[in-house]
């Protein structure tokens, strides 16, 4: 009997340990209390479960200080117990930086996470304004949210690439809110229809740039006129290199024109097309280079466009020929392979436009034109071969048909003979 009693006591003790023994929730009186409160005092306790800090084992007291083991607010939230309370708008960056700027502390959680956010923030427009007492400018929680902070690679996070433009737009698209700063508020609407915006927001291609990829994130600032090409070059490497060696680079600098942006604009970058180059009305070149046969820029623009048009037309012709041959059942996979190279040459020529150098464009386009001619020739040969096959078929069908007739007549003759005999 005694042993049964002691067994029950042992099991009960085990159950209590399992049920309440090691849950942070049971010990954290901050959470226990705030869960019972209402409205904004309850919200942090509800949201915190999704927060990366909570999931990594940090408690309310780790940020706010105080004694989480006491259920008496006078003790748990006493200054004597180190309670820091809610930081003001201006002090939020320092509040977060206590841990996030501490490399030794941060590497115990995530060694790959940078610890220079606060340093960068201080260089940003946001950071510069906040120290001047601006209560509206963004601080950490404006972008990362409060009590529901998620890592950047979590698709639910406010700073996940696909969500980031909306996060910035909360303030930057609000005309009323941004009024006093005197900057445009159409960036998001322009970005949404741009080639980058469509890729990011519609196709959910997180390789496409969001706001922070050009402006920086913690050190957010508009790129200066002279550094725009450096920003774009992060992805558009070839174009960036070609441009930096082109005659346009010093010319733009002299005229105080932004580099890539002058032709492609900034937030509303549309997919480039061949009409942008050349000397037609739609051409951007004509905005600076006057219609003058003697003007070098005018001549180069006209010739570059001519090269692109020739290559494109020949590519399309070759493609059409191969399609026609394929429709007729001809095997042209080798020529198809060449056609891909022609297309690559067309793309390379379009990229070479950024050198604004006719010899560079000529060199690339010439190899493409040569290959396009060869591919067209292969297409023509395939169609000639098809006609030869039809001729061969015609002749052999005729011979077989004559044999069929002759055989039929022979059978009839044999049968007639058999009937008479």
Partner 1 sequence: MSNIGTKIYGWLDERYDLTALVEFGKKKTVPIHRESVWYYFGGLSLFLFMVQVMSGVLLLLYYRPGADQAYESVKFIVTNVEFGWLVRAIHSWSANLMIFAAFIHMFSVYFTKAYRKPRELTWITGMIMFFLAMGFGFSGYLLPWNELAFFATKVGTDIVGVVPGIGEFLMKVLRGGDDVTGATLSRFFGFHIALLPAIFSAFLGLHLMLVQKLGMSTPIEYEKADNSNLKTMPFFPNFMLRDALLWLIVLNVLAILAVFFPFGIGPLHWPLGLKADPFAPAPAGIQPEWYFMFMFQTLKMIPGKVLFIEGELLGIFAFGAAGLAWTLVPFWDKKSARGEKNKLINILGIAAIAFIILMTAIGWL
Q: Does the protein bind partner 1 through residue 105 (CB under 8 A)?
A: no
What is the rounded distance in angstroms from the CA atom of residue 93 to the CA atom of residue 75? 27
Q: From the CB of 318, what's the least distance to partner 1, in Å?
A: 18
Q: Which is nearer to partner 1, 83 or 386 (CB)?
A: 386
Residue 383 CB, nearest distance to partner 1 (Å)? 14
C-alpha–C-alpha distance, residues 160 and 167, integer Å: 10
Largest pairwise CA distance in the chain: 134
Q: Does 418 bind partner 1 (CB under 8 A)?
A: yes
State the minimum distance, in angstroms, from the CB of residue 393 to partner 1: 4
How wide is the angle at C-alpha 412 spanned by C-alphas 407 and 418, nearest 5°? 125
Residue window 390-409: x/- pattern of binding to partner 1, with contact defined by CB under 8 A: x-xx--xx--xx-xx--xx-
Measured torsion, CA atoms of residues 393, 394, 399, 405, in degrees rounded to the nearest 10: 120
Tell me the closest approach of the beta carbon of residue 347 to partner 1, in angstroms: 23
Question: Which one, 62 or 326, has the nearer CB to partner 1?
Answer: 326
Question: Which region, left, alpha or beta, applies to residue 107 given φ > 0 means left and ψ of -120 to 50 means alpha?
Answer: alpha
Nearer to partner 1, 3 or 421 (CB): 421
Stretch that binds partner 1, among 73-81, 109-117, 146-154, 326-334 (CB under 8 A): 326-334
Q: What angle (nearest 5°) sits at the alpha carbon of residue 376, between those of residues 373 and 378?
A: 110
181 or 386: whose CB is closer to partner 1?
Answer: 386
d(CA 310, CA 304): 10
When asked if residue 329 is in the footprint of partner 1 (CB under 8 A), the reply is yes
Of the pair 19, 411, the CB lying nearest partner 1 is at 411
Distance set, CA 40 to CA 35, 43, 47, 147, 266 (Å):
11, 5, 11, 12, 40
Does position 389 bind partner 1 by CB under 8 A?
Answer: yes
Q: Does 334 engage in binding with partner 1 (CB under 8 A)?
A: yes
Cβ distance to partner 1 smaller for residue 14 or 392: 392
Say which DSSP state 88 is in: P
How far apart are the C-alpha atoms of 389 and 284, rounded to whole Å?
A: 51
Binding segment toward partner 1, per CB under 8 A, in 46-54, 151-159, 185-193, 385-393: 385-393
Q: Which is nearer to partner 1, 208 or 332 (CB)?
A: 332
Q: What does the block give as tokens for 158?
A: 């406010």
* Cα–Cα distance, 93 to 121 (Å, whole number): 8
- The smaller minimum CB distance to partner 1, of residues 98 and 389, is found at 389
Min dist CB 408 to partner 1, Å, is: 6
Cβ 216 vs Cβ 124: under 8 Å: yes
Instruction: Kindly state whether residue 333 participates in binding partner 1, applying the rule CB under 8 A.
Output: yes
The Cα 1–Cα 250 span in angstroms is 98
Binding residue (CB under 8 A) for partner 1 from 316, 331, 363, 377: 331
Residues that bind partner 1 (CB under 8 A): 329-331, 333-334, 389-390, 392-393, 396-397, 400-401, 403-404, 407-408, 410-411, 414-415, 418
């Amino acid at each position: 009997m005694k042993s049964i009693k002691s067994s029950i006591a042992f099991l009960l003790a085990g159950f209590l340990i399992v049920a309440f023994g090691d849950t942070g929730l049971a010990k954290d009186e901050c959470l226990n209390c705030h869960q019972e409160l209402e409205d904004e005092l309850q919200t942090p306790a509800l949201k915190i479960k999704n927060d990366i800090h909570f999931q990594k084992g940090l408690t309310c007291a780790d940020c706010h200080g105080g004694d989480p083991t006491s259920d008496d607010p006078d003790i748990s939230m006493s200054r004597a117990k180190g309670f820091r309370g809610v930081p003001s708008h201006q002090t939020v960056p320092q509040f977060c930086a206590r841990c996030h700027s501490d490399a030794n502390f941060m590497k115990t959680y995530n060694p790959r996470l940078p610890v220079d956010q606060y340093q960068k923030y201080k260089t940003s427009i946001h950071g510069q304004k906040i120290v001047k007492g601006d209560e509206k400018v963004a601080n950490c929680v404006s972008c990362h949210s409060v009590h529901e902070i998620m890592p950047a690679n979590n698709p639910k996070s406010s700073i996940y690439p696909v969500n980031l433009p909306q996060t910035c737009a909360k303030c930057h698209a609000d005309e009323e809110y941004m009024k006093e700063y005197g900057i445009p508020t159409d960036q998001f609407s322009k970005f949404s229809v741009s080639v980058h915006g469509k890729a990011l927001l519609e196709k959910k291609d997180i390789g496409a740039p969001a706001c922070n990829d050009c402006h920086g994130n913690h050190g957010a600032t508009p790129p200066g006129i002279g550094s725009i090409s450096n920003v774009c070059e992060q992805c558009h490497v070839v174009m960036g290199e070609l441009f930096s060696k082109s005659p346009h680079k010093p010319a733009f600098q002299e005229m105080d024109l932004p580099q890539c942006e002058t032709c492609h604009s900034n937030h509303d970058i549309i997919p480039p097309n061949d009409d942008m180059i050349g000397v037609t009305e739609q051409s951007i070149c004509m905005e600076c280079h006057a219609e003058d046969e003697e003007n070098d820029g005018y001549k180069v623009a006209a010739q570059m466009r001519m090269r692109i048009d020739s290559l494109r037309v020949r590519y399309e012709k070759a493609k059409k020929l191969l399609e026609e041959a394929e429709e007729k059942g001809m095997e042209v996979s080798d020529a198809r392979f060449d056609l891909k190279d022609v297309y690559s040459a067309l793309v390379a020529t379009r990229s070479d436009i950024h050198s604004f150098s006719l010899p560079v464009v000529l060199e690339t386009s010439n190899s493409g034109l040569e290959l396009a001619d060869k591919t067209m020739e292969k297409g023509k040969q395939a169609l000639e071969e098809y006609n030869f096959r039809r001729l061969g078929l015609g002749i052999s069908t005729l011979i077989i048909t004559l044999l069929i007739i002759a055989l039929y007549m022979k059978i009839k003759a044999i049968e007639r003979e058999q009937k008479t005999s």
